[in-house]
Copies of this chain bind each other. A is one copy, B any other.
Amino acid sequence: MPDFQAWTTRVLTRTEDALQHLLPLPSIAPERLHAAMRYAVLEGGKRVRPLLVHAAGEIARADAGVLDAAACSVELVHAYSLVHDDMPCMDDDTLRRGKPTVHVQYDDATALLVGDALQTLAFQTLARPGLLEHPGTQVELLHDLAVASGSRGMAGGQAIDLASVGRQLDRAELEFMHIHKTGALIRCAVMMGARCGEPLELTTLDRLDHFGKRIGLLFQVIDDILDAESDTATLGKTAGKDAAHDKPTYVSLLGLADARRLADELLDQALEDLSAIPRSERLADLARFIARRRF
């Protein structure tokens, strides 16, 4: 996929540029907070959610500048959640994206404020007046991002995760947790990209919603496989920590072989969801990329 690789490089470059511009400069007061926000977001991260926004945006022939803002808003929500999840009162992790976590590099209070301010910046970014031609759609996207991020989405999934430490979940419970914790925002990234351009038919949006849900689970299954198989240097974050914290994973529940089989199944279904949608080749490539990722 040489074309796919060139495309990802292009999207990653413009995402990094857009984030650079959105994040206040460290020369602006409060300087330490702004420096820490940039530390948390820039130069790191796989940027899977921005890639999903841009790939889904191709289906709706969306403007790349609009997609940049949408992509950054989702990525900022993701980045805030990582900063808070790594804090001592949560997962207490010291390494993220190959660097010391924010509370280690700065301090706990700064990490708390960094997460808070990154979440705010996410909504500020998506609420830029005039971003979308139809402000009504923009309001809907803001609402969708909030629902996907809040207590009945990502933050709720984190709460379920906390409550599950040391308990053996069954597969339905594990899936319920992941649908919230990582799935909701990944699904939101797909739908947001698809809604930034020309209006799509309801059946298309419905198929993309199914696709987003499957990709969210696929992403998590692969995460669990990599966590079980890789070492810390390759991952850029602490490997094997779920097992160490006695947290349930797809690998601990199904075993490695069946977890792999589940990933293959989810990829097949996700590609099937896209099969009737014009201009969805990029999204299909991205789904394959997510299924095959090694870090």
Contact = CB atoms under 8 A, between A and B. Distances in A.
Interface in A76-123: 80-81, 84, 87, 89-90, 107-110, 112-113, 115-117, 119-121, 123
A123 B146 contact: yes
A114 to B, nearest CB: 9
Q: Which of A32, A80, A140, A159 has the most CB of B within 10 A?
A: A159
A255 interface: no
Given A33-B151, A163-B32, A129 B139 contact: yes
Interface in A110-160: 110, 112-113, 115-117, 119-121, 123-124, 127-129, 131, 134-136, 138-140, 142-143, 145-147, 149-152, 155-156, 158-160
Q: Which of A121, A124, A152, A163 has the most CB of B within 10 A?
A: A124
A117 B151 CA distance: 5
Contacts of A276: none
Interface stretch (A3-11, A22-30, A192-200): A22-30
A253 interface: no
Contacts of A162: 109-110, 113
A133 to B, nearest CB: 11
A225 interface: no
A interface SS class: helix
Contacts of A80: 116
Given A135-B135, A135-B139, A151-B120, A113 B159 contact: yes
B116 A155 contact: yes
Nearest 9 pairs between A and B by C-beta? A124-B146, A89-B108, A120-B150, A127-B142, A117-B151, A30-B159, A135-B135, A33-B159, A127-B143
Interface of A: 24, 28-30, 32-34, 37, 80-81, 84, 87, 89-90, 107-110, 112-113, 115-117, 119-121, 123-124, 127-129, 131, 134-136, 138-140, 142-143, 145-147, 149-152, 155-156, 158-160, 162-163, 176
